[in-house]
Structure 1
């Protein structure tokens, strides 16, 4: 069965898209730790980030860096935190989280944001790419 993220890549589930290439997709987390929390994935469904071929892993990190720069410009924060956990969805992914304090990286304290709020943040980030 395809992962949730594969279904997003295929357009079966909508997302607040930030950026996309042939190999990668960045979109807002709908259950964010902080406003602007973005997920970056390879389109190829591979469960564990360290199972990615080196070129795909390096491409994912380079793409994540470009997206992080846009998030940092669009969302007031001190820096962008990066996390790779890999347990919640069986599809390699990178979390980019705007940080003003360590508490912003708390995965047990998710924000509740409306679809309109998420769409507005996504548009602001896309403008900075």
Structure 2
């Protein structure tokens, strides 16, 4: 059965994409610890990151690094958080989010879907795409 991320990548469910190429997609999570909280996901549905092909793992992290830099630039935060949890969806994903302290590393602190403002979510996605473009990364690759 396809994961929720596979359904988002396939366009069966809506997603606020900030980056996409043939092997990696990055989109905002629906339950962010902060606006701009992005999931960097391989297109291939692999549950554990330790099972990814090393070249795909490297590319996934390259995209996460670009997204993190765009987040720092556009959200005026001291750092971009990086977290791999993976228990909530059986599809490898890296959480990248604006971080000013350790609270973002606790996903229990995330806003619920009903608490998020769609306009702020759209603005966050647009800001990250603009930040990627400013870094010379085409978010629509």
TM-score under structure 1 length normalisation? 0.96
Unaligned runs of 5+ in 2: 133-141
Which residue is 2:32 aligned to? Answer: 32
Identify the match of residue 121 of structure 1 among 112, 120, 124: 124
Q: Deviations over 1:18-49 (max 9, x none)?
A: 11111100111110011211100000000111
Whether contact under 8 Å (1:26, 1:38) holds in the other structure is yes
3-state SS of paired residue (2:55): helix
Matches within 5 A, 1:49-60: 49-60=49-60
Whether contact under 8 Å (1:97, 1:105) holds in the other structure is no
Matches within 5 A, 1:62-101: 62-101=62-101
**Superposition misfits of 4+ residues, deviation over 2 angstroms:** none
Which residue is 2:6 aligned to? Answer: 6
Whether contact under 8 Å (1:40, 1:95) holds in the other structure is yes
The number of residues matched between the two structures is 129
Unaligned runs of 5+ in 1: none
Structure 1 range deviating more: 68-77 or 90-99: 68-77
Q: Deviations over 1:58-83 (max 9, x none)?
A: 11111111111111111121100100
- Note the C-alpha offset of 1:92: 0.3
- Note the C-alpha offset of 1:104: 2.6
3-state SS of paired residue (1:108): helix
TM-score under structure 2 length normalisation? 0.88
Which residue is 2:135 aligned to? Answer: none
